[in-house]
Structure 1
Amino acid sequence: MDFSIASILALDGVTNGAVYALLALATVLLFAVTRVIFIPQGEFVAFGALTLAMMQAGTVPGTVWLVLVLAGLAALQEAVAGWRAHRPLRHTLRAVLGVLAWPVVAALVVRWAAPQQFPLGVQAVLTLALVTPLGGLIYRLAYESLADASVLVLLIVSVGVHFVLTGLGLYAFGAEGFRNPPFWDERFAWGPLTLSGQTLIVFGVSMALIVMLWLFFERSLWGKALRATAVNRLGARLMGISSTGAGRLSFTMAAFIGALSGLLIGPTTTIFYDSGFLIGLKGFVAAVFAGLSSYPLALVGALGVGLLESFGSFWASAFKEVIVFGAILPVLLWRSLRDPHVEEH
């Protein structure tokens, strides 16, 4: 291996690591706020990429019907909860409309816009608007009633949600894989390296989103509420912060990050309905490196995973996944020896 090959592999690893960093940040966010180890984070990646691919083909994406069905179930759940709690009818109707508004409007707009063949940027925005509400709907249906359950129970639920979403993805998108066109197809020579416009977009969007997340948690009231919930759920409740609202917001943000990651990675690899699992798992490895608690360490871990995958594919391409996932073992051992064990009651 000479310097030029090493540079190309490093660039490829850092590019993939930037996407894994977004998924790792979403995983850390969800665990910190809700204590959910969210296995299906990669499904948002696949749904985002495949939704854009179907809109590129001029067909209505299956995500439209998936969002409408989940929104209907969540609205029914809200109506039953209002009836059991004997709330006034107007309050129940307002809550039901609050659940349905965003998903229904986004689904109807995408259903109308899909055959119109709008520019790629417009289709990307519509994809984000359609996939993002899936996060809040999944939290309402699968996790909200179990918010105070143990981490193990929440993990088991996450595994079940993963299998459900994978099956729904097969039904909605089919078994065929898709690769999206790049958002910018220019190429720039820099010594032995050739930078594509898509690579620059991946770097730019990833860094911009990381900075926006930092500003959100440091400057906004909602961000500070999420931080307070992550530090002490009971204390946040006593101060008037809704843990239910924090969970819904964090899952919505995770869905947005996942869908955006799918748009970024879609032009670089073929995405199938089940591709999100391996992609999300690599983000999870980076989050484990951070102890599921530190955003800067999650970023460092994601870059490490990307570099390990890139160089591993060069030296032993048949075992690159084994190399990446095997790297979690020394990290877990180090965490086990470094951190004290606390028995959860």
Structure 2
Amino acid sequence: MEIALILGQDGITNGAIYALLALALVLVFAVTRVIFIQQGEFVAYGALTLAMMQGGTVPATVWLLLVMGVLVTALDGSAALRAGQVRRAAAVAGWNLVYPLALLAVLAGLPVNELPLAVQVLLTLGVVVPLGPMMYRLMYQPIASAPVLILLIVSVALHITMVGLGLLFFGAEGQRTPAFSDASFDLGPLMISGQTLWVLAVSSLLIVALYQFFERTLYGKALRATAINRVGARLMGISPTLAGKLTFFLAAFIGALSGVLIAPITTIYYDTGFLIALKGFVAAIIGGLASYPVAALGALIVGLLEAFASFWASAYKEVIVFTLIIPVLLWRSLNSRHVEEEE
């Protein structure tokens, strides 16, 4: 029973992270039809960017942010100038060029490794999260109406590119960051670490915040409308470009924050995020890439299955977890009618 409780604790902790990633995958696919394979790279980039800051080094991801910002400014800024929209061109340059330069100056000029952990986390999110909407603008917006297969091929290409850049930026060595808290609590036979409580608390708060965002804010309702009917939302004046950028912003935020949360628990390598996101993808498939509550429940099942499989058959734990997708797909194929993409 003690072993079962310890494995259950590990499974719930991992499941909380998988739930966040599954929600992000479902959201991105529902709004943009993009299977966000590179979600895992945002996890790794978030963790390793924080590790570089704590090591006293300017994170290489800020240079990627600057390069992508220059490209976005060149595209959107020149289009705004040609249309005579000087104020919009200035806003584009401010968000995509001035902001990365200011962030680079802060990271290069301040002793970031001596700053409080909360400030380091905010700076990490400030570097990694804007990569999401920039990626949508540069890679997906020009082909937003393309078939799902084309979008999937682009996602695979971006995943491979980001893994290669991760090796260039962070090297082949793994990194682990200090825990948010050194506290530990005894609950019967269990010893619950402070970092585990941080993961569960932040994950729960983020899920509640996302629920409130979709239920009570105008932008959240716009994303829900786009997810339900993209054409109808466009006819009602909801910009598909804005919806895509906002969706990628949320997905990048969830990925980067997940990386920051798990960095003290496990060693993160440049390619670690792919396997983590793949388990979130299994949970998203359980939810049919459509249902948020079922995807979150599937994430907890994946986490618990992984924890118990690592004890009983550690050499096959990944096989056992990914085999879960086969009966789910079989059941869904038998209970769903075929729908053409045009429908």
User: TM-score scaled to structure 2, two decimals?
Assistant: 0.96
Residue 21 (structure 1) aligned with residue 19 (structure 2): yes
Residue 179 (structure 1) aligned with residue 176 (structure 2): yes
Q: Secondary structure at the match of 1:320?
A: helix
Q: Secondary structure at the match of 1:195?
A: strand
- The Cα of 1:325 is off from its aligned counterpart by 1.0
- The Cα of 1:293 is off from its aligned counterpart by 0.5
| Corresponding residue number in structure 1 for 2:9 | 11
CA displacement, residues 194-240 of structure 1 (integer Å, 9 cap, x when unaligned):
10000000010000000000000000000001011111111111111
Query: Against the structure 1 CA distance between its residues 255 and 107, is the aligned structure 2 distance closer, same or farther, given a 3 Å change threshold?
Result: farther
| Corresponding residue number in structure 2 for 1:206 | 203
Contact between 2:46 and 2:128, CA under 8 Å: does it hold in 1? yes
| Corresponding residue number in structure 2 for 1:47 | 45
Residue 221 of structure 1 aligns to which amino acid in structure 2? L
> Can you give the 5+ residue segments of structure 2 that lack an aligned partner in the other structure?
none
Residue 308 of structure 2 aligns to which amino acid in structure 1? F
- The Cα of 1:101 is off from its aligned counterpart by 4.2
Contact between 1:102 and 1:133, CA under 8 Å: does it hold in 2? no
Where does 1:140-289 land on structure 2 (aligned, <5 Å)? 140-289=137-286
Residue 24 of structure 1 aligns to which amino acid in structure 2? A
Residue 231 of structure 1 aligns to which amino acid in structure 2? I
Q: How many residues are paired up? A: 341
Residue 296 of structure 1 aligns to which amino acid in structure 2? P
Contact between 2:136 and 2:248, CA under 8 Å: does it hold in 1? yes
Q: 1:319 aligns with which of 312, 316, 330?
A: 316
CA root-mean-square deviation: 1.4
Contact between 1:182 and 1:267, CA under 8 Å: does it hold in 2? yes
Residue 342 (structure 1) aligned with residue 339 (structure 2): yes
- Counterparts of 1:139 and 1:215 in 2: how far apart (Å)? 25
Give the % identical residues: 61
- Counterparts of 1:291 and 1:89 in 2: how far apart (Å)? 43
- Counterparts of 1:197 and 1:327 in 2: how far apart (Å)? 31
- The Cα of 1:43 is off from its aligned counterpart by 0.5
Structure 1 ranges of 4+ moved more than 2 A: 79-83, 91-116
> Can you give the 5+ residue segments of structure 1 that lack an aligned partner in the other structure?
none
Contact between 1:59 and 1:114, CA under 8 Å: does it hold in 2? no
CA displacement, residues 126-147 of structure 1 (integer Å, 9 cap, x when unaligned):
1111111010011011100111
CA displacement, residues 228-287 of structure 1 (integer Å, 9 cap, x when unaligned):
111111111111110000000000111000000001110111000111100111111100
Q: Which moved more, 1:100-109 or 1:145-154?
A: 100-109
Residue 129 of structure 2 aligns to which amino acid in structure 1? T
| Corresponding residue number in structure 2 for 1:56 | 54
